[in-house]
Amino acid sequence: MGTELQGKTIAFLAAPEGTEQVELTEPWQAVEQAGGSPRLVSTQSGRIQGFNHLDKADHFDVDTTVDVSDQGEFDGLVLPGGVANPDFLRTQPKAVAFVKGFFDAGKPVAAICHAPWTMIEADVVRGRRVTSWPSLRTDLRNAGADWVDEEVVTCEGGPNVLVTSRKPDDLKAFCRTAVQKLAG
């Protein structure tokens, strides 16, 4: 077990349904293996329903909600994808404010696949170099981001460090880079 994230608590924001399970579980495991404490944050208490693409997968216990938590409790944020997950989160003002709070506080954020939709709603991608699932390219460009098609992109040209990746196939590089940047 590594110690890069020893003493750090990392928020994982996920909707009650629709999170791509592997985009939650692999970064979660990477944070734990680096000595960090991952915490699942959602818009409601109880459990979230993970998905393997369009099929229901496992349930995960929620640690806290956006109603009672803010970025001050955490050292960084991971945003897993899945189509339905960020699509729901971007319609929830408290979830959007939760994400924006990490950027305002200069804390590192890592997002994969469709997760940048929530960041677009938070108006935090303008001027940032990012990647995502290809169908978000136009949305990100329209929001002022510099979208590129790369396995993992680290952008330090803003108030915080932002790590983005395109898809589950990029998880190895995403997890490695996210842990490095969440460590500071």
Active-site residue set: 114
Q: Which two tokens stand for residue 3?
A: 């110690």
In a domain, 3, yes or no: no
In a domain, 2, yes or no: no
Could you tell me which residues are beta bridge partners of residue 9? 37
Q: Which two tokens stand for residue 150?
A: 């790369």
Instruction: Give me the pLDDT at residue 126, please.
Output: 98
Q: Is 59 exposed, middle or buried (0-12, 13-18, 19+ CB in 10 A)?
A: exposed
With vertex at residue 74, the alpha carbon angle to CA 22 and CA 105, rounded to the nearest 5 degrees, is 115
In a domain, 14, yes or no: yes
In a domain, 178, yes or no: yes
Q: Which two tokens stand for residue 128?
A: 């940032």
Q: Are 71 and 40 within 8 A, CB to CB?
A: no
pLDDT per position in the chain (184 positions), as tens?
Answer: 689 999 999 999 999 999 999 999 999 999 999 999 999 999 999 999 999 999 999 999 999 999 999 999 999 999 999 999 999 999 999 999 999 999 999 999 999 999 999 999 999 999 999 999 999 999 999 999 999 999 999 999 999 999 999 999 999 999 999 999 999 9
DSSP letter for each residue of 103-129: HHTT--EEEETTTHHHHHHTT--TT-E
In a domain, 62, yes or no: yes
In a domain, 1, yes or no: no
Q: Which domain holds residue 149?
A: 9-183
CA distance 180 to 184: 7
DSSP letter for each residue of the chain: ---TTTT-EEEEE--SEEEEHHHHHHHHHHHHHTT-EEEEEESSSSEEEEEETTEEEEEEE--EETTT--GGG-SEEEE---SHHHHHHTT-HHHHHHHHHHHHTT--EEEETTTHHHHHHTT--TT-EE---GGGHHHHHHTT-EE---SEEEE-SSSS-EEEE-SGGGHHHHHHHHHHHHH-
CA distance 94 to 85: 15
In a domain, 44, yes or no: yes
Domain count, the chain: 1
Any idea what the CATH number is for the domain that residue 42 is in? 3.40.50.880
Q: What is the pTM of this model?
A: 0.98
In a domain, 4, yes or no: no
